[in-house]
Amino acid sequence: METSNIEYSISPNFTEKDIEILKMYFELSKKYNPVISEALTADLADHPLWGPIMKQQNPEQRKAQNEKSLAMQHAAIYKGKWEEYSKELLSQGVLYAQMNISYTDWYELIKMYKDYLLPYIKKDFADSAEKAILYLEGLSKFIDFAMYGIAEAYFAEKNRIIRANEERFRAIFYNSTDQITLIDREGLIILANQIPQHYKKEDIIGKSILGFQTVGNDEIVKKAVHSVFDRKESSVFETLHLSGEKKLFYSSSISPIFSDNGDVNTAVIISRDLSLQKEAEEEVKELNRSLERKVEERTKELRDAVKELESFSYSISHDLRSPLRAINGFTHILKDSYPNGDEEVVDAMNEIIDNTQRMGHLIDDLLEFSRLGRAELTKTTVEMRALVETVIQELTRVPSERKINITLQRLEKVTGDQNLLKQVLVNMIDNALKYTSKKEQAVIEIGSHVKGNNIIYYVKDNGAGFDMAYYGKLFSVFQRLHSATEYEGTGVGLALVQKIITKHSGKVWAEGEVGIGATFYFSLPKSGKETSI
C-alpha cells in the first residue's frame, strides 16, 4: 500500500508546569498500563472491529509494543523528544486510515482506556483531590496531544486515499470511449463523461436525458428510466440518432446506483456508438445480396447455355442423322443395283455403309449422354441381382461359340433409378463381354459389398485390361484405350456410367492390367443419401 510521506512533526508548547503534571500522568500510566492493556484486550476480544486487529498480535508483541510506546512517551516527557514521539503518532494515524478504522472508533478506544484508568486514579489519589485533578489535567493534555497528532495524519491519509481512488475513477470515467451519463430521478443529467460535438457543458448538465440524447427515441428511454428508478432494475435499449446527414446507432445500458439504505436516486447510462459496426454489418449484407444477385445471373446464364446445348443436341439428332441415312441408304441402293460390281468399288461402298452406321451410333450415344444429363432420377428400391440377371440374359441372347463363365456373388439391393442403373450394368457387363472376346475362356465375376454407408458393386473380367497410365482418360467422353478395329465402341459408355452414378451421389473407379483383366467399381449410398468415399 502507498503511504503518505510524513515530513512534518508536531512540537507542543508545553510549559514546565505542564511537563510536571505530564510526568505525574506518565508515572501512573506506566504503573497500570500492563494491567489495563490486558483487561482491555480481553474485553475487546469479541469486538467486531478491534477483536480481529488485536488477534493479529500475540501477548509478547503487544507487551513489546506497549513498552516501546511507554519508552517513547518517557523520552518525550522527560527528555523533550516530542518530535520523535509525534512522528510515531502520525504514522499510527496513517496506519488507521489505511486500515479503514474510522476516527470515532479510535476515539472510543481512547475513551475506554480512560474509563479503565479512572478507578486506579481514585484509589491512588484518594488522599489528595488536588493531586488527582493535576493528574487528570496531565492525562487530558497528553490525550489532546496524541489525538491531535493522530487526527492530523489520519485525515491527511484519508484524503490522499480518497483522492487516489477518485483519480482512478475519473480516469476510467473520462477516458472511456463509451458515453457515461449519470441521471437523477427526474431524468436530469448530473454528470456526463463526454460532451457531444456542437454541445456545451451547460447544454447537458442539469438538462433532461430525453431532450439531449434521444431525439425520436423518447418512449424507449422513458421506459428504461422508469424501470431503473421504480423497479430498481437494469435494462438495455437501442436508439438511433441523427448527426447531420449521418445516422448514429447507439446501444445503451442503464443501471441503478444504490445508496447505503437501498434507495435509488441516481442511475448510470452507458451508451456505445455501434454505427461503424452496423455499417460494416450492412456492408456485409449488401455484399451478400449482390453476391446472390450475381449467382442468380450466372445461374441464369448457365441455364441458358444448357438450354442452348440441349437444343443443339436436339437438332443434331435430326440434322446429322438424316444425311447419314441418305448416304447409307443410297449407297445400299447403288450396291444392290450392281450385284456384280468391281470388288474395289463394292469394298468402298461397304466402307461408306459401315462408317455411316458408326457415325449413327456415335450420334445416338452422344444424344443419350446429353439426355441423361437432363434426366430426373426416379428412385425406387432396385433388386440388383434380378437386374443383373436380366441384363446378362439380354446381352447373351444371340447364341455364340464363346466360352463364357459368369459368376454372380452377393448383390445388395439399393435405392436408385432402375432404368439408369440398368444402363450402367449394360455398359459394364457389355464391356466385360467385349474385352474378353479374345480370351479362350472368359471369366466374369459380378458382386457387391457394403462399406460404411455405401454399397460397392464390381464387375471383374479376365479380358484385355488397360494400362493404369491412361486411367485419366477412362471415363471421358469419346476417349478410348483401344482402337475401334480391336474392340468396337464409341467411347461414350463409361462416361455415361460415370454420369449416372454421379447423379446417384456415387463414385466410379477401376483397376486394370494389360492382358490380365479389369475390375470396374461403382459405389452407391446405402440409404439413397450422400456418399463419402
Interface with other proteins (CB under 8 A): 314, 317-318, 321-326, 328-333, 353, 356-357, 359-360, 363-364, 367, 371
Q: In angstroms, give the least distance from the CB of 423 to other proteins.
A: 15
Q: In angstroms, give the least distance from the CB of 326 to other proteins.
A: 3
DSSP secondary structure of 110-150? HHHHHHHHHHHHHHHTTT-HHHHHHHHHHHHHHHHHHHHHH
Q: In angstroms, give the least distance from the CB of 335 to other proteins.
A: 9
Query: Which CB, 365 or 461, lies closer to other proteins?
Result: 365
Query: Which CB, 305 or 326, lies closer to other proteins?
Result: 326
Query: Which CB, 33 or 423, lies closer to other proteins?
Result: 423
Give the residue from 439, 448, 316, 431 showing the smallest Cα distance to 369.
316
Sheet with 441-451: strands ordered across: 403-408, 441-451, 454-461, 517-525, 507-513
Q: In angstroms, give the least distance from the CB of 347 to other proteins.
A: 17
Query: Which CB, 147 or 352, lies closer to other proteins?
Result: 352
Distances (CA, A) of 31 to 38, 119, 161, 273, 299: 13, 13, 39, 72, 106
- Show the cell assigned to 313: 443436341
CB 521 within 8 A of CB 447: no
CB 209 within 8 A of CB 226: no
Query: Which CB, 373 or 447, lies closer to other proteins?
Result: 373
Query: Which CB, 356 or 436, lies closer to other proteins?
Result: 356
Query: Which CB, 240 or 372, lies closer to other proteins?
Result: 372
CB 68 within 8 A of CB 58: no
Query: Which CB, 179 or 331, lies closer to other proteins?
Result: 331
Cross-strand partners of 257: 266
Give the residue from 413, 415, 414, 419 showing the smallest Cα distance to 372.
419
Query: Which CB, 333 or 398, lies closer to other proteins?
Result: 333
Q: In angstroms, give the least distance from the CB of 371 to other proteins.
A: 8
Cross-strand partners of 408: 446
Q: In angstroms, give the least distance from the CB of 309 to other proteins.
A: 14
Q: In angstroms, give the least distance from the CB of 328 to other proteins.
A: 5
User: In one letter, which amino acid is 124?
Assistant: D
Cross-strand partners of 519: 460, 511
Query: Which CB, 88 or 365, lies closer to other proteins?
Result: 365
Detail the DSSP E strand segments found in 174-296.
Answer: 179-184, 189-192, 235-243, 246-258, 264-273
Q: In angstroms, give the least distance from the CB of 322 to other proteins.
A: 5
Residues 426-435: b if buried by 16+ CB within 10 A, e if exposed: bbbbbbbbbb
Q: In angstroms, give the least distance from the CB of 325 to other proteins.
A: 5
Q: In angstroms, give the least distance from the CB of 314 to other proteins.
A: 6
Query: Which CB, 210 or 359, lies closer to other proteins?
Result: 359
Q: In angstroms, give the least distance from the CB of 334 to other proteins.
A: 11
Distances (CA, A) of 168 to 96, 192, 362: 22, 16, 87
What residues contact 346, with CB distance under 8 A and at least 6 apart? 335, 338
CA distance 172 to 156: 24
Q: In angstroms, give the least distance from the CB of 527 to other proteins.
A: 29
Residues 214-238: b if buried by 16+ CB within 10 A, e if exposed: beebeebbeebbebbbeeeeebebe
CA distance 266 to 187: 9
Provide the 3-class DSSP secondary structure of residue 418: helix
Residues 82-105: b if buried by 16+ CB within 10 A, e if exposed: beebbbbbbbbbbbbbbeebebee
Query: Which CB, 240 or 352, lies closer to other proteins?
Result: 352
